[in-house]
A and B are shown apart, each in its own frame.
Chain A
Amino acid sequence: MTVALSDVFIGVFSTTLQLSPFYLFAGMGEIVSEQSGVANMGLEGIMLMSLMTTFVVDYMTGNPWVALLAAIGVAGVIGAFFAFTAIRLRVNQIAAGLAIYLIGLGLSFVIINVVYPSGLTPNYIPLPSLITNWNTGPRALGIIFLKQNVMAYVSLVLVVVTAFFLTRTSLGLRVRAVGENPKAADNMGVNVNKVRFLATLFAALTFGVAGFYFAGNFVPGFQTDVIAGRGFIVLAMIYFANWKPYRVLFAALSFNIVYAAQSEYVSLSGFGVASFSTLFNMLPYVFLLALIPVFGRKARTPKFLLKPYKKG
């Protein structure tokens, strides 16, 4: 069977655009949170919880929008708890984050098992495509751009908004100030821990959206550990991006182009490379790793990242 080259390209770009928003949502939240000095390593745990919530609520109500709200709500509750321990109680952020991850990993599976004891989760009712009859008109355009659901475009808007927020608004500048020099910010009358709390909470909400987006676009149903480290990859992307929103967009797109290309290659080559497919799965991560000496060199961590602040 021969496949037209244009079809391959269309497939790769369409997959890239379909997968990237997951990283963009989570990335924007984590950027804001880390700029304020709090790294949430538990992001994958929060995502698993909201992914689980999405499946359950989506099936119960039949309405993906309600599921989105529920996913954000769950993420917000966990995020607030994390923020309280990391900021107010000044617990080690990495340890607290890993604890959140483990809790999310275990609890999401327990809950889904209680709700669906048979072990089968119902299929997800996805958000509709941007334009329902995307198959009319120019085919490439339809498959790449119009087939996506509206959240894909919301994520692109979020990148612009986050970039604007961090550099052009006073709250954004305060966020960066408490991450760079909390003492000076405090002296200027900024409530350091309040700003950090808001930034961390915002991050958790975006993890909720990312978890919601994962359903349907990545997997049709819930399994244990189904996100499989993709949440942690967001941390790496932010690092390469030097905490700049547009560069996260670049990192996410290039990572997913490599990912889409390898999966397209594996699926086209069939059984010939099937046993090597896991080796190809490594490619996007190795690609990201190879970028470190190039981009990571100039990375400048927010000065007070991981350091709790105590007034006085």
Chain B
Amino acid sequence: MVVYAGGNLGVALSSLFLNPIELAGGSQQIFVRFVLFYTMGMGVGLALKAGLWNIGAQGQLLIGMVMVFVVYVFLAFLPWPVLYVAMILGAALGGLLWIAVPTILRVKFGANEIVVTILLNVVAINFAFFMLSGPIKSAGTALGFPHSAELPAKFQIPSIVSSVPITYAVPATIAMGIILYLVVERTPFRVKANTVGESHETAKYAGISIPRVMTVTMLTAGALAGLAGATYLMGYRYELDIGSFSTNYGLVAIICALVGRKHMLGIGIASFFFAYMTIGAESMALSANVTTYVEFAMEGIMMFGILLGNYLTERKYAV
């Protein structure tokens, strides 16, 4: 594929595996994506435990990003530390509200959450675009594509060490992963969620409140995806534009959740792997002069590779 796209295979392959670190800003981007994939992946995985597919992480992520700026613009009168926290919480709240729609439809009306979350992804893009071209547009946008204002340094998530661009979002995410691991995997909640995911009949028989488990897992998933939007904007991108829409991080997060077998720590490992590989694919695209959209194709092919690997190992150990 790389060769046909007009690139040099040797350069491409070496950069796929080595360049992520050597590339300027490569290690930073690996961690940016690790945070994104892990935060969203945990949400997706949590909902999956209860048998619910959150295909809409991408939409919730977008709403989270929009909410960061909505809070920043409309609650600007708040003092600095309060506003800072409000921006992060606002993003989580945005994701939560966005997933509340499929949750309500699922719990109250029995509507398929896959369909609704997919629909809401499309709505989210249009909504984000509307917000960007109106309420949160930067005054500096005269012509061309609208973009938001750039967050000033005091509203950015700072780096741990000033020379290394790895922000506090990374340890915070890992800490959150461990907390969720303790809360989800080490308590009866895991059994509850899994029972709901396996069979509603059994769950009913066991006296588990199905709507409650569904609501809790779904809303958490949405809040986490919204939170991911805050870390992405405040820790890396600082400004919202159309380029932030045309990503597929939400989809990759689903794969991370599946590859990590819905386990809160497993998803972390899968997320790091995918972060490393997608940056590798991107730097490969840059160094071998193939277009960056190779990245999407590479992600898809990697997913197939892993799915097939899963198949082979499962067949080997299956009865």
A113 CB → nearest B CB, Å: 5
Cβ-Cβ contact count across A and B, 8 Å cutoff:
160
> Does residue B34 face the partner (Cβ distance < 8 Å to A)?
no
Q: Tell me which residues from 109 to 141 in chain B have a Cβ below 8 Å from any Cβ of chain A.
A: 109-112, 114-116, 118-123, 125-127, 129-130, 133-134
Name the CB-closest residue of B to A286: B123
* B294 CB–A CB distance under 8 Å: yes
Give the contact stretch, choosing among A11-19, A137-145, A223-231. Answer: A223-231
Give a binary string over A193-214; 1 marks a CB under 8 Å from any B CB, 0 the rest: 0000000000000000000000
Q: How large is the interface on B (under 10, 10 to 19, 20 to 34, 35 or more residues)?
A: 35 or more
Supposing A114-B5, A278-B133, A292-B116 touch, asked if A101 and B101 sit within 8 A by C-beta, the answer is: no
Q: Which of B11-19, B195-203, B211-219, B247-255 contacts A (4 or more CB under 8 A)?
A: B247-255
Judging by beta carbons under 8 Å apart, are A95 and B254 in contact? yes
Report chain B residues within 8 Å CB of A45. Answer: 300
Residue pair A293, B111 in contact (C-beta under 8 Å): yes
Are A113 and B258 neighbours in the complex by a CB distance under 8 Å? no
Q: Are B126 and A110 in contact (CB under 8 A)?
A: no
Q: Are B310's CB and A110's CB within 8 A?
A: no
The number of chain A residues touching the other chain, given as a range, is 35 or more
A105 in contact with B296 (CB, 8 Å) = yes
Decide if the interface of chain B is mainly helix, strand, loop or mixed: helix
Question: B184 contacts the other chain (Cβ, under 8 Å)?
Answer: no
Cβ-defined contact, B5 with A113, below 8 A: yes
* B-contact 0/1 string along A87-103, CB 8 Å cutoff: 00111101110111111
- A30 to chain B: closest CB distance in Å? 12
Q: Are A91 and B307 in contact (CB under 8 A)?
A: yes
Partner of A106, one of B6, B120, B300: B300
B4 within 8 A of A: yes
A107 to B116, CA, bound (A): 27
Q: Does A285 contact B (CB under 8 A)?
A: yes
For residue A301, which residues in chain B have a CB less than 8 angstroms away from its CB? 112
A281 contacts partner chain B, Cβ-Cβ < 8 Å: yes
Judge whether A55 is part of the interface by a CB distance below 8 angstroms.
no
Asked whether B290 is an interface residue with its Cβ less than 8 Å from the other chain, the reply is yes
Which partner residue on chain B sits nearest A297 by CB separation? B109
Q: Does B107 contact A (CB under 8 A)?
A: no
Contact for A232 among B1, B111, B118, B126, CB less than 8 A: B118
A106 to B109, CA, bound (A): 37
Interchain CA distance A96-B248 in the complex, whole Å = 15
What would 11 more interface pairs be, CB under 8 Å, given A92-B258, A293-B111? A91-B310, A98-B55, A110-B297, A229-B122, A232-B119, A235-B114, A235-B115, A276-B134, A285-B122, A289-B101, A289-B119
